[in-house]
Amino acid sequence: MYKRTVLTIAFAASSLLASGLATEAKKAGLEPIPTDKKELMKLIDNPKNPITDEKVELGKKLYFDPRLSKSGFISCNSCHNLSEGGDDGIPAAIGHKWTANPHHLNSPTVYNSVFFNSQFWDGRDPHLEAQAQGPIQAAPEMSATPEHVVATVTSMPEYVEEFKKAYGKDTKITFEKVADTIATFERTLVTPSAFDDYLNGNEKAMTKAQKDGLKTFMDKGCATCHTGIALGGAMNVFNITGTYKFQDVGDFKGDKNGMVKVPTLRNITQTAPYFHNGQIWELKDAIKEMGRIQLGADINDAEAASIEEFLKALDGRKADVVLPQLPASTSKTPKPDIN
């Protein structure tokens, strides 16, 4: 009887400790992806352009269609590969004519980007709809004009019919409408993880090592910037307590106030290399460097390993994305231009 009572008390204390950690995490500003579909839709939907199955399916086709680019070779998925971390896995994005990003900027993940307060490394656009227009037109990326995009889409009767089904028979296909539709698909790319399960009440969702890592993560001050549902996605000053050791790779210095978008930590184990210019390949090294330049903290090997264990709990469950079958080109479809 005594032994059973002791075990019961010990279990209760352990559960209380775990619950206390989850509460502490929420107080630190960390938020879970909601399990309730209605609550999630409140966060990801755009009231000006509500999510529908028709828009999502059409947006997925456009996301994977390389014919939107000038060369007919590069799609959104080229730099934001949904079969892995939602990025391209190389230091600097490669675009039209095999051009590396002129500022040596790394492609951010598209997964969970709906939760970001700012899009692009300099945060110049707040919404996915505006962001989707940028890479299509950027010379070192897809290098297309709005006219090319509209001509491409309207040249294929199947696309024209799908736009009518998605937006109404009288809809006019514009460049902005194409970008909005791609963004609608991107809004659904949400990856709940063991961390979300834990904050949502499942005490066993995270391992002890991951819980210890969460505590280390908060104690070191990482949650100061990596906060909210995305554990990032807002703007913050870079090089606060030190200078990033690869600062001179590329000419990016942030926005006019020296602010840089804080990368999301969701699926971070799958999105190497790290930092805006993709110069650090090992996650433990990125953790130590962030501690040095942002927190003024000397994070040792054991602490870095602990934080890394927590970050593994942010590996999300990705929905199966079936590769879409795209409409056939017609005689009116613009020809690829590699110049």
327 occurs within a structural domain: no
4 occurs within a structural domain: no
Active site residue 141: yes
Same domain, 161 and 55: yes
DSSP assignment, residue 127?
Answer: S
pLDDT at 3: 38
How many structural domains comprise the chain?
Answer: 2
Same domain, 50 and 164: yes
127 occurs within a structural domain: yes
Mean pLDDT to the nearest integer, 25-39: 97
pLDDT at 7: 37
What is the chain's mean pLDDT, rounded? 94
Same domain, 136 and 222: no
162 occurs within a structural domain: yes
pLDDT at 4: 42
325 occurs within a structural domain: no
Same domain, 54 and 168: yes
Same domain, 206 and 175: no
Least confident segment among 5-9, 134-138, 182-186, 281-285 = 5-9
Residues 232-283 pLDDT 10s: 999 999 999 999 999 999 999 999 999 999 999 999 999 999 999 999 999 9
Same domain, 209 and 229: yes
**Residue 188 pLDDT greater than 90, yes or no:** yes
Residues 125-151 pLDDT 10s: 999 999 999 999 999 999 999 999 999
pLDDT at 19: 66
245 occurs within a structural domain: yes
The count of other CB atoms within 10 Å of the CB of residue 42 is 11
Annotated binding site: 76, 79-80, 96, 222, 225-226, 290
326 occurs within a structural domain: no
Residue 242 is part of which domain span?
Answer: 27-39+192-312
Residue % of the chain over a pLDDT of 70? 94
**150 and 175 Cβ atoms separated by less than 8 Å:** yes
Same domain, 124 and 60: yes
213 occurs within a structural domain: yes
**Residue 16 pLDDT greater than 60, yes or no:** no
CATH number for the domain including 243?
1.10.760.10
Same domain, 114 and 245: no
Q: Which of 187, 218, 246 is the last residue of a domain?
A: 187
Cα gap 280→146, rounded to integer Å: 36
Same domain, 179 and 224: no
- DSSP character string of 13-77: HHHHHHHHHHHHHHHTTB-PPPSSHHHHHHHH--TTS---HHHHHHHHHHHH-GGGSSSS---HH
Give kind and range of the element (H or E) at residue 159: helix 157-167
Same domain, 277 and 161: no
Catalytic residue among 24, 31, 84, 141: 141
Annotated binding site for heme c: 76, 79-80, 96, 222, 225-226, 290
Same domain, 254 and 173: no
Same domain, 116 and 221: no
**169 and 121 Cβ atoms separated by less than 8 Å:** no
pLDDT at 2: 34
